[in-house]
Structure 1
């Protein structure tokens, strides 16, 4: 099956600090998405990437399909950034 390694598994940030989350994939992918689940349980869609880099305010995400990884950069962390972050990937169909 598909294997996704997310690191770090847990992270505590002080306000104003920067951080990088990373997902490494065992299989070739066509796209990746990043989500945040806030402390109340609401799911927030952050990014959809087929390749390259996207930015949204203090958040930036990259996806390298060749190297099979994606990163999520958080700049100047704020209280509203609290939550559980995770990535979801779409694998290429094997014929």
Structure 2
């Protein structure tokens, strides 16, 4: 299980470097372990105030990336998962309510460069 995780993290790092170009993107926490039923919040901050939007992706073990949300501003939600974006603060959050074992995945944000 450790080897696929390392591979996924390398892919995530390369994707963030490719998408962000000269932009700095920080995602916190980098690793999260929670009990079933707990609420989860993952934060994403970026440096370029001219960004056009932000995307949240999910990657299940052994699979490719799945787009969860694209936000230009405001918030979007689907079921227990919601995302918000404040372009003024250059910050986005991904919220998962009442986590379940099936939520186990790698989540990452990517910022559209202008």
Calculate the TM-score normalised by the size of structure 2.
Answer: 0.77
Higher share in helix: 2
Aligned residue for 2:80?
58
Which of residues 18, 23, 42 in structure 1 aligns to 2:44?
23
Query: Deviation of residue 2 (structure 1)?
Result: 0.7
Aligned residue for 2:54?
32
Question: Deviation above 4 Å: which 4+ runs of structure 1?
Answer: none
Distance 1:42 1:80 in 2: 16
- Root-mean-square deviation (CA, aligned residues, Å) is 0.9
49-58 or 35-44: bigger deviation:
35-44
Query: Deviation of residue 71 (structure 1)?
Result: 0.4
Q: Where does the alignment leave 5 or more consecutive residues of structure 1 unmatched? A: none
Which of residues 66, 88, 95 in structure 1 aligns to 2:110?
88
Distance 1:32 1:68 in 2: 10
Distance 1:91 1:44 in 2: 20
